[in-house]
């Protein structure tokens, strides 16, 4: 797709955000064609750029298709530039501490006076309630919201292996923004949209909350749950690999028994139905473990695919670069790391008219577009050079 054909082409978004939640919302809007201007502090830029370890992938993954404006918001020139920019913006997104932008005169109420159509989106830890002003992180809400309890074995709460609330929180922010844009087309008025980590986490564990009420028993952690399916497990292969296999219908059970040469299991009346297989796991599972344990991982995967059964190799993140589905055209977009190396990162999990949404702008350098953005805001070249000289914006 060329930029003009993208659904959000012509929409201007000004992003005040760091870490994952806010940037993920901006990335989605940018991938869909919006002009996303990432406001970074000058001179250091977004501190997420320098995160080590598990945070090393945050910035390159969630900041493509954006332009960088590096600005000192404590300087008169810097704040004046940002206010001029926001006067014509469609959307503002922010995930800083509560009140941070208000202190700069950039709160929703103040900006709506000059730009009543502005959609102001705040991505926070909590929505309205007793915890509204608490500081939160993805891991904090996973622990307090029951997700860590459900993920780890009993007595060992374990966070999910990704920033699930941050990313989903960004997605819900985008849903709210798109809804507000649709309303603005009718009313001309903007909205203050809020998305939050904790309430997002509640939705993730809602099925387990409901389960406890419906069954009258506490929902056990996933590693010790009573499965809804008789076969829904990870099996070891003869060559040291692991494969997940799920059999979720009686027809799949018969197909499995035929494909894997176990007519005795197919003929067992106690295993003919899914409830029977759930009840008979104690005697069924040793037979299945022995069956899979005599096959290589490749043999298990090939047999399951030929049978049309749900299956999956147990992969590590680095293995995915060799996965045929990930290597399909459009599945990855290539961005550039600060040291010049190319990095493939997943495209949005969407197709539009059969096409994936790709890369229009590489991950920006700090302040890479400051001059151009100031010029678009109506500043002359002389005024821009004065801003740079005074340290109000970055010189890039």
Per residue, the 3-state secondary structure of 241-253, as one string, reads CEEEEEECCHHHH
Q: Which of 228, 231, 227, 211 is nearest to 219 (CA)?
A: 211
One of 72, 102, 166, 323 is an active-site residue; which one? Answer: 166
Residue 233 annotated as catalytic: no
Q: Which of 391, 375, 337 is nearest to 43 (CA)?
A: 391
CA distance 118 to 13: 10
CA distance 219 to 304: 31
Q: Would you say 313 and 297 are in contact if contact means Cβ atoms under 8 Å apart?
A: yes
In terms of C-beta density within 10 A (0-12 exposed, 13-18 middle, 19 or more buried), how is residue 276 classed?
Answer: middle
Q: Which sign does the torsion angle of CA 226, 227, 229, 233 carry?
A: negative
Q: Would you say 318 and 344 are in contact if contact means Cβ atoms under 8 Å apart?
A: no
Catalytic residues: 166
């Amino acid at each position: 797709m060329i930029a003009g054909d993208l659904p959000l082409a012509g929409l201007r978004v000004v992003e005040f955000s760091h870490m994952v939640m806010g940037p993920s919302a901006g990335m989605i809007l940018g991938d869909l064609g919006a002009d996303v201007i990432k406001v970074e502090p000058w001179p250091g830029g977004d501190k997420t750029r320098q995160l080590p370890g598990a945070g090393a992938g945050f910035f390159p993954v969630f900041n493509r298709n954006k332009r960088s404006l590096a600005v000192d918001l404590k300087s008169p020139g810097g704040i004046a530039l940002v206010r001029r920019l926001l006067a014509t913006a469609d959307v503002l997104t922010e995930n800083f501490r509560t009140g941070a932008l208000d202190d700069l005169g950039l709160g929703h109420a103040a900006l709506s006076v000059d730009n009543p159509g502005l959609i102001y989106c705040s991505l926070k830890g909590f929505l309205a309630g007793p915890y509204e002003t608490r500081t939160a992180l993805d891991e904090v809400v996973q622990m307090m919201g029951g997700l860590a309890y459900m993920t780890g074995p009993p007595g060992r709460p374990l966070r999910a292996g990704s920033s699930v609330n941050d990313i989903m929180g960004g997605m819900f922010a985008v849903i709210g923004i798109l809804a507000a844009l649709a309303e603005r087309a009718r009313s001309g008025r903007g909205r203050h949209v809020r998305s939050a980590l904790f309430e997002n986490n509640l939705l993730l564990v809602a099925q387990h909350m409901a389960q406890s009420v419906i069954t009258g028993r506490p929902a056990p952690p996933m590693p010790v749950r009573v499965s809804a399916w008789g076969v829904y497990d990870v099996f070891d292969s003869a060559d040291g690999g692991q494969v997940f296999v799920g059999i979720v219908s009686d027809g799949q059970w018969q197909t499995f028994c035929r494909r894997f040469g176990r007519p005795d299991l197919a003929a067992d009346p106690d295993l003919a139905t899914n409830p029977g297989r759930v009840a008979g796991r104690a005697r069924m599972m040793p037979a299945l473990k022995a069956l899979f344990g005599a096959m290589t991982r490749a043999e298990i995967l090939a047999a399951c695919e030929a049978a049309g059964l749900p299956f999956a190799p147990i992969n590590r993140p680095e293995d995915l670069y060799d996965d045929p589905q990930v290597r399909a055209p459009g599945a990855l977009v290539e961005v550039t790391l600060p040291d010049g190396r190319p990095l493939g990162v997943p495209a949005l999990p969407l197709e539009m008219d059969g096409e994936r949404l790709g890369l229009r702008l590489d991950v920006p350098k700090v302040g890479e577009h400051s001059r151009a953005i100031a010029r678009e805001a109506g500043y002359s070249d002389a005024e821009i050079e004065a801003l740079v000289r005074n340290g109000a914006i970055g010189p890039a």
